[in-house]
Amino acid sequence: MNGLRLPNQTYLRGKRQSFDTFYKYDQRERLPSSVDWRKKGVLTPVRNQGECGSCYAFGALAALEAYHKKRTGKLVNLSPQNVIDCTWEHGNNGCDGGFLVPVFTYAKSHGIVAESKYPYVFTAKRSCKWRKADVVATDKGYLEIRDGDELGLKHAVAKHGPVVVGISGHQRSFRFYKSGIYSSNTCTKPSHAVLIVGYGTHRTHGDYWIIKNSWGTHWGVKGYGYMARNKGNMCHVASMGSFPI
């Protein structure tokens, strides 16, 4: 199941911040040849969104979990249900899809509670059960990667941590991906949110991104996958990147 919505003009007008949200970096800066945040202890276990189109909640919260761990030293499973039930007014549609950035703006204004306090139920409820006393993680805003900027995405992953992105996830080859560096010539518009947790280069098959999915551990390599990097913005992997600050 996917669940990522594409920004429209109404959404774009509604999300303006008081400062420029685009990620700025030095293109000349030397970066590590490979990064893998799985080895840094900042990622929670892979989860399964089921048939609910809630990838936007899982992906954005996975980025926030890593940010929270880096900032506080505490690794907490945050509640996707909190986001699904409580961000309707931010433009999201529960199990019928949503946007990434409103999750970060909601985390700033309200905060996110732990999964243990607000368990995932694989469906959306119009009734928000958020309680201020249960909040465990917040952010101060977000930054976005410019559309298609794979170098910017690489820089952000190396310097700041995991970045949530939108990809084309409808292809049968992606849904049944098992291993290897994924590429496809049938990708269309972004429809699914995943977390970029690293990058590297295979000596035979070239550059890749490491992605954390929300389709359970039976998908890919225990819930993770590898997608072609520097190959024409494969499946729009660098088209909707953002991360909390």
Nearest to 135 by CA among 83, 60, 71: 83
| Sign of the four-CA dihedral 219, 75, 130, 13 | negative
Which listed residue (52, 55, 95, 235) is catalytic? 55
Q: Is 92 a catalytic residue?
A: no
Report how far apart, in Å, the C-alpha atoms of 27 and of each of 23, 30, 236 are. 12, 8, 21
CA of residue 210 relative to chain centroid, distance:
12
Are 184 and 174 in contact by the 8 Å Cβ rule? The answer is yes
Contacts of 44 (CB under 8 A, 6+ apart): 62, 65, 75, 76, 77, 78
Which listed residue (2, 92, 213, 233) is catalytic? 213
Q: Is 93 a catalytic residue?
A: no
Which listed residue (68, 155, 160, 192) is catalytic? 192
Q: Is 48 a catalytic residue?
A: no
Active site residues: 55, 192, 213
